[in-house]
């Protein structure tokens, strides 16, 4: 396999703030790699170090076999988080403008179609909706048909249908051999798109792997959440471990979580609730997902950093069931 992105022990501090602390990763050609992590974890700084818009204090970054600043710009597409093109250009003019920067650019009309903006092609950028603006920005990174594409939060502010347009586009690009590095706070996006995910916390990549491997290693067991005001102690005679659910927000019963339970065994819990006169308003079963992993690992890093004691229920914050899995 050909390494297209290589970061070795990257360090970057801003005054007292450590933005990168020994970040090391390798991304192969054609991979979609998702960088996830809490606000301030260092994702943007890592992308900037890899694209040559910031110099690390130590360590080495190489992309497409070269130092980031030495790479042929025709081969690279970069969508920064805060990219804001001129307002008084239409979507079409914007892509024409960016296409004009390259000798061998794609037809901007094709790019407009790719990002789903044909109907808004003649609308000024400032009059596009936030999501349409973001799609136009994604388009601007595609005019040179890059081999390596960095997308910093590409779908932030885009509605669900538009998000799927961008997801399909990223999948097509990757199928065609483009290497894509994206940062996202959307775990469904990372789980759907990424061949591998890197979780950045406090400037270090604390976990890397396929979504499936990360979920298997860090996701814990499947769980059944019961909407009930009953205490976990009321379930002492149930054959499964039961904990209090994390804060479930307004308008929800407090809730308890039954762990290590397969869906076929939900009937046992229902029988138990009824035999013990325990009132409940709903049950939802969920497999661990990338969000579970994220919360577990980000929380573990936070505990380590602050010296906060583990209460023995490290996954308690991760009890939200996945949509569509309500029993
Ligand atoms: N130019 C800068 N000057 C000073 N501090 C900076 C600068 N860039 C980043 N930082 C700090 O470095 C840390 C990492 O920031 P970074 O933007 O890389 O995080 P992030 O993971 O991308 O966050 P988010 O998810 O909020 O976008 C933060 O504490 C941030 O305040």
The three-state secondary structure class of 85 is coil
Which of 7, 21, 42 should be mutated for ligand 1, with most atoms under 8 A from CB? 42
What is the CA(65)–ligand 1 centre distance, in A? 27
45 ligand 1 Cβ < 6 A? yes
What domains sit in the chain, N to C, each tagged with a CATH number?
Answer: 3-209 (3.40.50.300), 220-318 (3.30.70)
Ranges of beta strands (E only) in the chain are 3-14, 17-28, 32-36, 58-63, 76-79, 148-152, 179-183, 196-201, 204-209, 223-227, 242-244, 256-259, 282-286
Residue closest by Cα to atom 31 of ligand 1: 40
What is the CA(287)–ligand 1 centre distance, in A? 33
179 ligand 1 Cβ < 6 A? no
**Cβ(138)–Cβ(170) below 8 Å:** no
44 ligand 1 Cβ < 6 A? yes
16 ligand 1 Cβ < 6 A? no
Round to whole Å and give the CA distance between 238 and 265.
Answer: 12
Angle at 167 between CA 163 and CA 172, to 5 degrees: 150
ipTM of the complex: 0.97
The three-state secondary structure class of 174 is helix
Distances from the Cα of 134 to the Cα of 11, 167, 243, angstroms: 30, 13, 42
pLDDT per residue rounded down to tens, the chain (327 residues): 789 999 999 999 999 999 999 999 999 999 999 999 999 999 999 999 999 999 999 999 999 999 999 999 999 999 998 888 888 899 999 999 999 999 889 999 999 999 999 999 999 999 998 888 888 999 999 999 999 999 999 998 888 888 888 898 899 889 989 999 999 999 999 999 999 999 999 999 999 999 999 999 988 888 899 999 999 999 999 999 998 887 655 556 678 999 889 889 999 999 999 999 999 999 999 888 998 888 888 877 777 777 665 444 444 444 444 433 333
Round to whole Å and give the CA distance between 91 and 122.
Answer: 6
What is the CA(158)–ligand 1 centre distance, in A? 23
What is the CA(231)–ligand 1 centre distance, in A? 41
Angle at 142 between CA 294 and CA 204, to 5 degrees: 30
Any idea what DSSP says for residue 320? P
């Amino acid at each position: 396999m050909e390494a297209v992105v290589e970061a070795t022990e990257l360090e970057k501090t801003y005054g007292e703030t450590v933005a990168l602390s020994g970040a090391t990763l390798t991304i192969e050609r054609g991979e979609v790699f998702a960088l996830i992590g809490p606000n301030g974890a260092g994702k943007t700084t890592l992308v900037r170090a890899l694209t040559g818009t910031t110099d690390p204090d130590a360590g080495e970054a190489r992309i497409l076999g070269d130092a980031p600043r030495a790479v042929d710009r025709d081969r690279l597409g970069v969508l920064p988080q805060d990219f804001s093109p001129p307002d008084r250009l239409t979507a079409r003019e914007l892509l024409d403008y960016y296409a004009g920067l390259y000798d061998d650019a794609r037809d901007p009309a094709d790019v407009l179609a790719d990002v789903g903006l044909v109907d808004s092609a003649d609308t000024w950028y400032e009059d596009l909706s936030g999501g349409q603006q973001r799609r136009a920005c994604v388009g601007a990174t595609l005019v040179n048909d890059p081999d390596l594409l960095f997308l910093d939060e590409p779908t932030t502010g885009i509605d669900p249908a538009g998000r799927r347009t961008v997801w399909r586009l990223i999948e097509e690009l990757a199928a065609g051999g483009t290497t894509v590095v994206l940062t996202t706070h959307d775990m469904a996006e990372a789980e759907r798109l990424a061949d591998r995910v890197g979780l950045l916390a406090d400037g270090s990549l604390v976990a890397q792997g396929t979504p499936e491997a990360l979920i298997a290693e860090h996701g814990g067991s499947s769980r059944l959440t019961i909407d009930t005001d009953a205490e976990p102690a009321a379930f002492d005679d149930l054959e499964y471990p039961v904990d209090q659910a994390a804060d479930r927000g307004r308008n929800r019963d407090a809730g308890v979580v039954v762990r290590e339970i397969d869906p076929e065994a939900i009937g046992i819990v229902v029988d138990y609730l009824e035999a013990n006169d325990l009132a409940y308003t709903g049950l939802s079963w969920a497999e661990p997902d990338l969000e579970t992993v994220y919360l577990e690992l980000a929380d573990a890093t936070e505990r380590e950093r602050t010296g906060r004691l583990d209460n023995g229920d490290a996954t308690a914050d991760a009890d939200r069931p996945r949509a569509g899995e309500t029993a």
